[in-house]
Amino acid sequence: MKKLLLAFAVLPIAFSSCVKVDIDDSTHNNGGNGGGCSSGSKQEQIICSRIITGQIADNVTLPKGKYFLKGYVYVTNRATLTLSPGTVIVGDTVLKGALIVERNSRLYAEGTAAEPIVFTSGRAAGSRVPGDWGGIILLGNAPTNHATTPTIEGGVNAQYGGNIANDNSGVLKYVRIEFAGIASDPGSEINGLTLGGVGSGTTIENVQVSFGNDDSFEFFGGTVNAKNLVALATADDDFDFDNGYNGRIQFAVSVRKPDFVDGGDAGNGIECDNNAGSTTAAPRTRPQLSNFTIIGPNSGTAAANHNYSNRWRRATQFVLRNSILMGHPDAGFSMETDETVGDYFVNNISEFKNNLVHAGANPYRSTSAVATSAQIKAKAESEGCVTYATAEEINLENPFYSTNPNFLPKAGSPALAGADFTGMTGFTATTHVGAFGNTNWISGWTNWDPQNTVY
């Protein structure tokens, strides 16, 4: 597992045996065998024991309640797992709980603003730490740029990708994923939400990933679109795109915790590659992103591995418009490799327009001879971007890490105007840049202090 710079206490785990439904749910944590619940259908066994384990090969619908995810659980055989609003899924910290939805199977986790669905740690409130359990992995049949069908990372025995762009892996709406990222092997952590070859028939809306031990959201190929995403206190990258991802995401916010970051890989707001080999294999990775608010630690005492607001590299293409980058120490808009810089600076295939940009150093950064950092800055500012010497000039209410943030622009903030959606299809036009105008869409369903929440 990666070495992390963090400030959490780890307390001993209590073991006990599992009993039936009418119990103090805390006795289930990290123990139990579902005694007396071994007969009946898979659905009946889970409802009886409150334990989710093994394979789900038939359709299962779970009523609102608290369930315990033990080991790697695969939804397979074209089955559908449906979770009711208000359900809490507790990931086992000993058996490395993780939920893997294989190709042709589906997860319907459709909460509401009043009753979100929560996936969280099996530890008690006050003792949870990043990497307590695995995470959620959705796998679909949408295209990737792999030459052969790949296996998803994280020690998972499941493949992803195909040729069905509109493939449907289900629905995630009003979902929180907390303290994920346990390593199956050293250096092989699971992300909070991993999307491998997931198609545009899938719905991903109003999802918060908090205190993850790897990335919050990672997209390996696929065409899935998303909106209203929240990344809180991520160890590695908040949003990571690879292997030919082509989709649209609008309205997303990420916030870094100054004293918490990966001790190995540097942590970025966005990291994006065409593939690990830096080739131009098709389809080229080209996320289309608008109305992001990417918040760095903005602290001189932050852990050293906090890195860039944006890191575009390895021959990727991209679109990032109408967004806010602020508070990262080492760079704001950073590009690496000749192919990446060339497709932005020369070919105009990539776009970086109408953004507000601040960084502790290097608001604009290029490591390619195709264009210097100064040339990149000039191009960005000619296309509606504005550069700020301090994060405070962007004038948001209370954007940096806390248990009660407020990302809305203050009166007179430059974020209240300046958006431009010319040539963009599939997006909701706004006048404001960044994730928020006058509507606080995170209200009611998000949690900014999950470490101390009693479930």
More confident residue, 35 or 117: 117
Q: What is the pLDDT of residue 189?
A: 85
pLDDT digits (tens, 9 = 90+) for 381-436: 999 999 999 999 999 999 999 999 999 999 999 999 999 999 999 999 999 999 99
Q: Which of 4-8, 67-71, 272-276 has the lowest mean pLDDT?
A: 4-8
Q: What is the pLDDT of residue 78?
A: 98
Q: What is the pLDDT of residue 17?
A: 25
Q: What is the pLDDT of residue 231?
A: 98
Pair type for strands 66-75 and 51-56? parallel
The residue with tokens 């430059």 is 414
pLDDT band at 188 (very low <50, low <70, confident <90, very high): confident
Rounded to the nearest 5°, which phi and psi values hold at 81?
Answer: -105, 120
Q: What is the pLDDT of residue 15?
A: 27
pLDDT band at 55 (very low <50, low <70, confident <90, very high): very high
pLDDT digits (tens, 9 = 90+) for 313-348: 999 999 999 999 999 999 999 999 999 999 999 999
Burial state string for 182-204 with b = 16 or more CB within 10 A and e = fewer than 16: bbbeeeebbbbbbbbbbbbbbbb
What are the counts of helices (DSSP H) followed by strands (DSSP E) for the chain?
3, 32
Ramachandran assignment for 140, one of left (phi > 0), alpha (psi -120 to 50 degrees), beta (any other) = beta
pLDDT digits (tens, 9 = 90+) for 347-357: 999 999 999 99
The mean pLDDT value for 309-316 works out to 98
The mean pLDDT value for 84-89 works out to 98
In terms of Cα–Cα distance, which of 326, 398, 331 is closest to 355? 326
Q: What is the pLDDT of residue 438?
A: 96
The mean pLDDT value for 283-308 works out to 96
Calculate the average pLDDT of the chain.
92
Q: For residue 282, is pLDDT > 80?
A: yes
Q: What is the pLDDT of residue 121?
A: 98
pLDDT band at 35 (very low <50, low <70, confident <90, very high): low
Rg of the chain's alpha carbons, rounded to an integer?
21
In terms of Cα–Cα distance, which of 455, 454, 450 is closest to 129? 450
pLDDT band at 9 (very low <50, low <70, confident <90, very high): very low
Q: What is the pLDDT of residue 186?
A: 67
The mean pLDDT value for 254-261 works out to 97
Q: Using an 8 Å Cβ cutoff, are 229 and 207 in contact? A: yes
User: Which pair of tokens denotes residue 140?
Assistant: 């679909």
Task: Using a pLDDT cut of 70, give the percent of the chain over it.
Answer: 92
The mean pLDDT value for 265-285 works out to 97
The Cα-based distances of 340 to 273, 319, 346, 379 in angstroms read 9, 12, 10, 15
pLDDT digits (tens, 9 = 90+) for 137-180: 999 999 999 999 999 988 898 999 999 999 999 999 999 999 99
pLDDT band at 11 (very low <50, low <70, confident <90, very high): very low
User: Which pair of tokens denotes residue 56?
Assistant: 């789900």
Q: What is the pLDDT of residue 310?
A: 98
The mean pLDDT value for 200-221 works out to 98
Q: For residue 380, is pLDDT > 60?
A: yes
Q: What is the pLDDT of residue 20?
A: 25
Per DSSP, the three-state class of 451 is helix
